[in-house]
Structure 1
Amino acid sequence: MLKRTRSRQRRRPMAEINVVPYIDVMLVLLVIFMVTAPLITQGVKVALPQETAGPVSNTPAESVVITVDQFGDFYIDVGTDKGVPASDEILTNRIRVVLEYRPETPVLIRADLGVEYGRVVRAMVRAQKAGAREVGLIVVPPERRER
């Protein structure tokens, strides 16, 4: 009869959570993000002309940058789709909106070294049509050359 009493005794459930599998998953995710983070490129890659030029005076930290890549496509760093090519109308409208709220915002152009001159002029004209008083060009100083 003693055996029956022992077999009918219920075991209490354990109320502990085993966190070891969660730690393993987190470590794997950490390794994945560490490996893939350097591979993610941000922005549009352009080869800037290398010339000696002085900095633009009185330039606030925030400016509108229009990028013209090697294929002649326009990109603008305003809005949610910064990595998507922008048409002439989108370019003009976005610059106009920024300048309505902050008229002193400078407009700068980053153009690839191999892009034809007409595309750079077109970006400048679009910026002026949007209301930009001055349009600057971004270059890389000779001492910062990428090799």
Structure 2
Amino acid sequence: MQGPYNPKGRGKPMAEINVVPFIDVMLVLLVIFMITAPMLTQGVQVELPQVSSEPIETPEDLDPIIISVESAGTYHISMGEDTTAVSLDDMAERVMAILQRRPETPVMVRGDKQVPYGEIVVLMSTLQRSGVANVGLISEPPQDG
């Protein structure tokens, strides 16, 4: 009688898993993600002023709210990977809503160097009315030579 338990050892179910195809797929995915990750940086193209300054210490577990002002005067709000064009009033409401949920979230301003100083002052005043206690200004280090 031949059944699942053959005493001679033939016909035993194989208890090993072949992991070579799994490793091949994972290596292909790793290469794909390594190539596409640098292309995923989103944001608004802003020509930042170049000054030498000390970096701002931010908690590593919190994504800062980044408000960008383009040279045309349009506002963009970024939180993590999401970037949205907004009006000044909508931006104030969004920042207020985020700060009500997480009051320790840092707020940074990226202003194009062509934007008039008055626009940045209006933005910072609006942020202050929204409940932002401290605002960081983002710049680029100067290029030597």
**CA distance, structure 1, for counterparts of residue 54 and residue 89 of structure 2:** 30
**CA distance, structure 1, for counterparts of residue 32 and residue 105 of structure 2:** 40
Find the counterpart in structure 1 of residue 138 from structure 2: 138
Q: Which has more strand, going by share of residues?
A: 2
1:63-78 matches, cutoff 5 A: 64-78=65-79
Give a deviation string over 1:114-139, Cα, whole Å, max 9, x none. 33555434422321332445655333
Call closer, same or farther: CA 1:106–1:36 in 2, change over 3 Å: closer
**CA distance, structure 2, for counterparts of residue 69 and residue 146 of structure 1:** 25
Tell me which structure has the larger Cα radius of gyration. 1
Call closer, same or farther: CA 1:130–1:29 in 2, change over 3 Å: same
Give 5+ residue unaligned stretches, structure 1: 1-8
The one-letter code matched in structure 2 to 1:12 is: G
**Does residue 58 of structure 2 align to residue 61 of structure 1?**
yes
1:45-56 matches, cutoff 5 A: 45-51=45-51
Give 5+ residue unaligned stretches, structure 2: 1-5
Give the root-mean-square deviation of aligned CA atoms: 3.9
Call closer, same or farther: CA 1:123–1:20 in 2, change over 3 Å: same
Find the counterpart in structure 1 of residue 11 from structure 2: 12
The one-letter code matched in structure 2 to 1:30 is: L
Find the counterpart in structure 1 of residue 109 from structure 2: 109
Give a deviation string over 1:62-109, Cα, whole Å, max 9, x none. 56542213443323344x77312223233112333417864x876542
Q: Which has more helix, going by share of residues?
A: 1
CA displacement at 1:21 relative to structure 2: 1.6
> Secondary structure of 2:86's match?
coil
**CA distance, structure 1, for counterparts of residue 134 and residue 106 of structure 2:** 7
**Does residue 96 of structure 2 align to residue 96 of structure 1?**
yes
Identity within the alignment, %: 42
Q: Does the CA contact (< 8 Å) of 2:78 and 2:84 recur in 1?
A: no
Q: Does the CA contact (< 8 Å) of 1:99 and 1:132 recur in 2?
A: no
CA displacement at 1:111 relative to structure 2: 0.5
**CA distance, structure 2, for counterparts of residue 19 and residue 60 of structure 1:** 44
Call closer, same or farther: CA 1:49–1:23 in 2, change over 3 Å: same
Q: Does the CA contact (< 8 Å) of 1:66 and 1:123 recur in 2?
A: no
Q: Does the CA contact (< 8 Å) of 2:42 and 2:81 recur in 1?
A: no
Count of residue pairs the alignment pairs up:
132
**CA distance, structure 2, for counterparts of residue 130 and residue 121 of structure 1:** 14
Give a deviation string over 1:31-76, Cα, whole Å, max 9, x none. 1112112222144342211245x659xx763565422134433233
Q: Does the CA contact (< 8 Å) of 1:67 and 1:109 recur in 2?
A: yes
